[in-house]
Amino acid sequence: MQIKVEDKNTVTICYVTGDIDINTAPDIKKTFDRVIQGKKPKVLVNFQSVNYVDSSGLATLVEFLKNIRAYGGKLKLCTMSPKIKSLFEITKLDRLFEIAPAEGDAVTSFA
């Protein structure tokens, strides 16, 4: 698993590669915590290279959302594979997160 954070204009984009599971979730949380410390107002997590998310990954994302909302920021997710999208639907989390089909859509929707 790798995670890369880039600032593009006003939007902070987290690119995650690999699996988000019980073993990698703690490391991802560390990166997320740095984003939270920077109080970034617009955050996007790109799922393009994510193969698999388990429930600890979902919980880590929920916690991320909670912390971003706490300082009035916004979190969006984008470019999910159908498999991962269906996982969000089963767990009803698709209603909690704003999930955009592509990175461009997500970035423009922030404005």
Partner 1 sequence: MEKQEPVIRVIDLKKKFGDRQILSGINLDIHKGEIFVIMGGSGCGKSTLLRHLIGALTPDEGSVYLLGQDISKLNEDQMDPIRKKIGMSYQGSALFDSMTVGENVSLPLREHTKLDPNVISIMVKMKLELVGLRGFENLMPSQLSGGMKKRVGISRAFAMDPEIVFYDEPTAGLDPIVTAVMDKLIVDLSKALSVTSVVVTHDMNSVFRIADRIAMLYEGRVVEVGTRDEIRNSKNPYVQQFVSGSPDGPIKFFQQKDDYLETLTA
Q: What does the binding site for partner 1 look like in residue numbers (CB under 8 A)?
A: 21-23, 25-26, 29, 54-56, 58-60, 62-63, 90-92
Q: How far is the CB of 42 from partner 1 (least distance, A)?
A: 23
Q: Which is nearer to partner 1, 28 or 44 (CB)?
A: 28
Question: Is 5:16 a contact under the CB 8 Å cutoff?
Answer: no
Q: How far apart are CA 57 and CA 72, in angstroms?
A: 23
Q: Which amino acid is at 55?
A: S
Q: Which is nearer to partner 1, 93 or 110 (CB)?
A: 93
Q: Which is nearer to partner 1, 25 or 107 (CB)?
A: 25
Q: Is 91 helix (H, G, I), strand (E, B) or coil?
A: coil
- How many residues can be counted in the chain? 111
